[in-house]
Amino acid sequence: MQASQKAWRIMRLLTVYRIILALLLMVLISTGYLPEPLGETAPRLFLVVASVYVVVTLLAIYPLLLRTPGYIWQVYFYTCVDILVFTLMMHASGGVASGVGMLMVVSIANASMLLAGRMSVFFAALASLAVLGQQFYSQLYGTASAYNYSMAGLLGLTLIVTSVLATVLARQARESADLAHSRGVDLANMSELTEQVISQMATGVLVVDEQHHVRLVNGAARRLLDAPSQMLGTHLQQFSIELNLQLRLWRGQGRQSYEKSSIETLPASLLVQMIKVGRAGDDTKTGVLIFLEDAAAVNDQSQQLRLAALGRLTAGIAHEIRNPLSAIRHAGELLAESDKLPSEDLRLTDIIQENTARVNRIVEDVLQLGNRDRVFGEKIQLNKYLKSFVEEIYCLHSEARSVLVINDQSVEPLTVYFDSGHLHQILSNLCQNALNFASQSLSSPRVTLLLAGDTKRGCYLEVINNGPLVQPQEKERLFEPFFTTTSKGTGLGLYLSKELAQANQCHLAHQQQNENTCFRLSFGQQAIIRESD
């Protein structure tokens, strides 16, 4: 089909060429500016042949537009017409010496490009015979310039050589075109295969040009960046402000690759890797290939083995530590009740009680980690749940009534699928830490439970306090187990909260907001329950 289309395009060009040539001859004849020796021997024959040629070439438009008969039969017909017309014009102009025969070379070359093999040589031989026949006819009638068989032979040889060369070149051109078409099909198939592979990848992929416009993005990247509707060509900032800032900082460093690192975005923490692509040595013409991974998912995979070992460890802890710890605590209580114990030693029993209680909290927290994967999800209406939770906090800590408040900014009732025990544990840890740090504030202590978002883009719950900010060197270790900034803490509260959030397919992160410390619990799309669900 593609070769046929090319052939018809060449046919159109040849038809235009014939029409222009015929009209030009008629204009020269009618104006009297026909150059010598054209038409000198038989002017009337030349005029008739030129007139017929004009009519035939104009009529050729009709079958060309209809494409009937096929282009091969049209090539046969018009090549024969060219041979006949140019032979008669050559005879009317004095024979081979007039140069009219050279027009046959063009016709034979064109026919050879469109026809394959023997037919192109056949028409070249037919044209050569026509030239020799005209020379023989002129000799019979005794024309003065008729005895020029050498030039007739050279013209015939030229026609055959032209046919052979044109056929070879046309065949090579067709083979090159077929090869290019085949390579193009392979390239298109490979491109489609690549797009399918990228679209099905769990890793997010973005390609960004030098102006930070997104040229390619797969479904995983849209999901991780919460950008389902952004169009290609949109600035990266419309996909993620944090990622765009990270890219600008990295470009300023002038490195070729960006080591995988974590950045905090909404709705999830991401592992990002950037690689320059494009012209080497010219940073202004290079794009960037960005790989995105869900840090929570990666952490989940890396922690499966640790959690399995931790489950075995907790069983040992429960058996090997808790029973002796209970005995120590009971012995301390009995010792404190003794009348014979000196008053100065009673302080030692208090130390025993305090430290056994602290070790017991550590054991309980570790046992909670062992139950991390035991998620019993249920529907929780966050707006109502927060009110009941805060009332519980007020009962346990009376001083919290003047400190802890709820700021509900949700535009609609928010219902999530979450383990209620896990949510209570997370909020208890966060609120207890917030109350402790808010009490160290230089101004009035304040702790805010902020609920915001909707069911379409996602929702989040923030615990904000105006206490001392987290030190920069401590930010990276906040969620590490057994890391604490207080002497009475176990260092497992935030770690346990983050693990429980991930077990419920949500995300817990730390932020600084206007000189306040904020911990945000982001509920993923899979955890949000919509009215249609």
Q: Which residues contact 5 (CB under 8 A, 6 or more apart)?
A: none
Supply the pLDDT for residue 3: 57
Query: Both 509 and 385 in a single domain?
Result: yes
Query: Both 292 and 303 in a single domain?
Result: no
Quick one: average pLDDT of 130-155?
78
Query: In the chain, how many domains are there?
Result: 4
Quick check: 369 and 411 in contact, CB under 8 A?
Answer: no
Query: Does 234 map to a domain?
Result: yes
Query: Does 167 map to a domain?
Result: yes
Does residue 365 surpass a pLDDT of 80?
Answer: no
CA dihedral 328, 330, 332, 336 (to 10 degrees): -170
**Three-state DSSP class for 226?**
coil
From CA 86, how far away is CA 81, in angstroms rounded? 8
Does residue 143 surpass a pLDDT of 80?
Answer: no
C-alpha 46, offset from chain centre: 67
**pLDDT cut 70: percent of the chain above it:** 83
Quick one: average pLDDT of 513-523?
88
**DSSP string for residues in 278-331:** ESTT-GGGEEEEEEEEEHHHHHHHHHHHHHHHHHHHHHHHHHHTHHHHHHHHHH
Quick check: 414 and 459 in contact, CB under 8 A?
Answer: yes
Between 476 and 308, where is the model more confident? 476
Query: Both 26 and 138 in a single domain?
Result: yes
**pLDDT cut 90: percent of the chain above it:** 15
Query: Both 157 and 56 in a single domain?
Result: yes
Does residue 377 surpass a pLDDT of 60?
Answer: yes
Reported as a single tens digit per residue, the pLDDT across 339-362 is 776 766 776 777 777 777 767 766
Query: Both 303 and 211 in a single domain?
Result: no
Supply the pLDDT for residue 1: 47
Supply the pLDDT for residue 312: 64
Which residues form the domain of 108? 2-181
Query: Both 485 and 522 in a single domain?
Result: yes
Q: Which residues contact 424 (CB under 8 A, 6 or more apart)?
A: 389
Stretch among 43-47, 279-283, 391-395, 479-483 having the lowest mean pLDDT: 279-283
Between 388 and 181, where is the model more confident? 388
Query: Both 273 and 361 in a single domain?
Result: no
Quick check: 92 and 48 in contact, CB under 8 A?
Answer: no
Encoded tokens for 306: 């640790």
Quick check: 246 and 273 in contact, CB under 8 A?
Answer: no
Q: Is 126 exposed, middle or buried (0-12, 13-18, 19+ CB in 10 A)?
A: middle
Quick check: 99 and 115 in contact, CB under 8 A?
Answer: no
Query: Both 365 and 387 in a single domain?
Result: no
CATH number reported for the structural domain that contains residue 413 in this entry: 3.30.565.10
Reported as a single tens digit per residue, the pLDDT across 181-211 is 888 888 888 878 877 887 778 788 888 888 8
Does residue 144 surpass a pLDDT of 50?
Answer: no
Residue that is last in its domain, among 370, 387, 405: 370
Reported as a single tens digit per residue, the pLDDT across 451-468 is 998 887 788 999 999 988
Q: Secondary structure of 86-125 in the HEC alphabet? A: HHHHHHHCCCHHHCCCHHHHHHHHHHHHHCCCHHHHHHHH
Q: Which residues contact 9 (CB under 8 A, 6 or more apart)?
A: none
Residue that is last in its domain, among 370, 386, 412: 370
Strands of 415-419's sheet, edge to edge?
A: 377-381, 415-419, 528-529
Query: Both 16 and 38 in a single domain?
Result: yes
From CA 359, how far away is CA 321, in angstroms rounded? 9
At 488, the pLDDT band (50, 70, 90 cuts) reads low
Quick one: average pLDDT of 514-526?
85
At 315, the pLDDT band (50, 70, 90 cuts) reads low
Instruction: Report which residue type is found at 518.
Output: C
**How long, in residues, is the chain?**
533
Quick one: average pLDDT of 44-56?
92
Between 23 and 252, where is the model more confident? 23
From CA 47, how far away is CA 31, in angstroms rounded? 13
Query: Both 359 and 389 in a single domain?
Result: no
Does residue 268 surpass a pLDDT of 70?
Answer: no
Query: Both 89 and 146 in a single domain?
Result: yes
Query: Does 322 map to a domain?
Result: yes
C-alpha 5, offset from chain centre: 35
Query: Does 333 map to a domain?
Result: yes
Buried b (16+ CB within 10 A) or exposed e, 314-352: beebeeeeeeebeeebeebeeeeeeeeeeeeeeeebeeb
Query: Both 489 and 421 in a single domain?
Result: yes
DSSP letter assigned to residue 143: -
Does residue 476 surpass a pLDDT of 90?
Answer: no
Mean predicted lDDT score pLDDT of the chain: 82
Query: Does 196 map to a domain?
Result: no
CATH number reported for the structural domain that contains residue 314 in this entry: 1.10.287
DSSP letter assigned to residue 350: H
DSSP letter assigned to residue 514: T
Supply the pLDDT for residue 277: 79
Supply the pLDDT for residue 20: 93
Query: Does 189 map to a domain?
Result: no
Quick one: average pLDDT of 216-239?
84
Does residue 279 surpass a pLDDT of 50?
Answer: yes
Residue that is last in its domain, among 370, 385, 401: 370
C-alpha 69, offset from chain centre: 48
Query: Does 244 map to a domain?
Result: yes
Query: Does 493 map to a domain?
Result: yes
Closest CA to 244 of 219, 223, 267, 213: 213
Quick one: average pLDDT of 146-159?
81
